[in-house]
Each structure stands twice: as structure tokens, then as C-alpha cells.
Structure 1
């Protein structure tokens, strides 16, 4: 999936979670976007990879693309680090929800992800699409609509 689809996926997922869990939607929204971009740190052409090129190249050299940073092992590692250093539950959960949204979206691509890294098994959905395809554009539109809906619902948190 493209970076923009990951961003809107992180927005939709974090706002939906905030709605159902009654967390601060603004904190979850920001954390969800960052979390949705983080797994692609292993790709130097990604939005986050271009911001942190040396780290991106190092991670890609050591692990490759869609392996460690797209795994449950990485998710748990990030959760432990967040728990140790971030006091806000909304920020921690938003970040992790954004990461999970990234994983789910990449499992909808033909390449899939190494969810169980270090095992070499690729995990993807039975029906997949190509990155940048018309199907991805439709998914982007649906995620954008969900973002607007849950964004509107988030107003109730502040009213």
C-alpha cells in the first residue's frame, strides 16, 4: 500500500478505537498516523524512510523489507518500549493501532508480510491487490469515509 493509504488507515483505525474505548481521539489520531507509518522504516523510499534515511538503510540492510518491522515481534517490542517510556494510554494504544492497521493493509497486497518473523512464512489475505491499483484507491476512499465518520463522532468526546 502507498503511504497515503497507510495514513488514512491509521486515522480510521485510531479514531474508531478511540470512539469505542472512549480515549482522547486527538492523541490517538496523531499516534495512529505515526504508528501507521513506522513499519515502513525498512524501506528508504517510504515517507518515514525518506525522513530517516540512515536508519532506514540500516534496518533494510539487516532485515530487508516487510520482515522484522512488519512482524508481531516488532509490534511487541514497540509495545514494551512505549509502555516503558510513554505514560499516556491513548498515545500508546493509538501508536499500536496504527501499526496494526499498517500490517492489515499490507496483508492485502500480493507480497504480504512476514508476520511471524523470524519464520520465513508470508502472511497475506486470500484476495489481494497491487500497491497503487484501482482497488487500493477504492480502499483509500472507504477508509477516508470511515475517518470522516469517526472524526465527526470524536467531536462528542469534547462536547
Structure 2
């Protein structure tokens, strides 16, 4: 999936959570969801986040490759641990983690799949796959946008 779809998925999930609960600060939670939606692609130098942090991306890719460690439950737990030690705002921490989970789900819909159980070499993918940047991804992006607008409207109605 492309960066814009990953960003929108993070925004969609966090916006829906804000609309359903009042557990998080919306502005921090939703922004963090967008960041979390990009974070697993730090392993890919051509990704939005990889281009922003090329040295880190190169090192991570050299050590692990693409869609392995940074697309795993191990990475999710490691990020959760680091954030719990250095970020005092739970809206930011949880937003990043929610965004990461949406990233994992979307990339499991690609032909390459993800190594969710890394270091195990098991590839996780859904039985039907989308091509990155293809028509199916465009439909997913449109659907995510519509869902975001729906929940954002519900949030605004509360004010």
C-alpha cells in the first residue's frame, strides 16, 4: 500500500475510536495515528518515512529487509515499550500503536504479505491481495476517507 493509504488508515481508525470513546485527546491521538500508519515502512527507503529518514531506513533495511521486523508483533511491542518510557501522553502512544496495527492489516492484503510473527519466517497475507497503487487500493483509500468523514462529522456534532 502507498503512504497516503497508510496515513488515511491510521487517521480513520483513530477518528473512529475518538467518536466511539472519550479516552483520548483527539488532536494528539489522530495525528499520532497518521504517524503510526507510516512507521512500519521505515524499512523501505522509497517510502514516505524512509525518504524523510534515509540513514535510519537504510540501516533497518540492511539488517532486516522489507516487511519483516518492522511489520511484526515484536516491533509493535518494542515501540510500545519505548513510547511508554519516553512519551508521557497516552494519546500519542496509543495513536501510534493503532496506526501501526492498521499498517500491518493493509500490508497483509498485498501479495508480499508481512512477517507478523518475525523472527519466524511465516508470511501472513489475506487470501485476496491488492497491488500497491492499483485500483483496489484506490477503492480502499476512498472507503477509508468516507468512513473518516462520517466519524469526524459525529465528533464535530458533539461540540
Bin of the TM-score, shorter chain as denominator length: over 0.9
Residue 62 of structure 2: aligned partner:
61
Give the paired residue count: 158
The TM-score normalised by the length of structure 2 is 0.96
Residue 80 of structure 1: aligned partner:
81
Residue 149 of structure 1: aligned partner:
150
Segments ≥4 residues shifted beyond 4 Å: none
The TM-score normalised by the length of structure 1 is 0.96
Residue 12 of structure 1: aligned partner:
12
Given that 1:71 and 1:114 are in contact with CA atoms closer than 8 Å, whether structure 2 keeps it comes out as yes
Q: Distance in 1 between matches of 2:9 and 2:138?
A: 12
Given that 1:67 and 1:113 are in contact with CA atoms closer than 8 Å, whether structure 2 keeps it comes out as yes
Q: Distance in 2 between matches of 1:88 and 1:99?
A: 17
SS of 2:75's partner is: helix
Residue 21 of structure 1: aligned partner:
21
Q: Distance in 2 between matches of 1:124 and 1:19?
A: 30
Q: Distance in 2 between matches of 1:17 and 1:68?
A: 27
Q: Distance in 2 between matches of 1:154 and 1:81?
A: 30
Residue 48 of structure 2: aligned partner:
47
SS of 1:12's partner is: helix
What stretches of structure 1 of length at least 5 have no aligned partner? none
Deviation at 1:149, TM superposition (A): 1.2
Q: Deviations over 1:84-128 (max 9, x none)?
A: 111111111111000000000000111100000000100011111
Worse-matched range after superposition: 123-132 or 112-121: 123-132
Deviation at 1:12, TM superposition (A): 0.2
What stretches of structure 2 of length at least 5 have no aligned partner? none
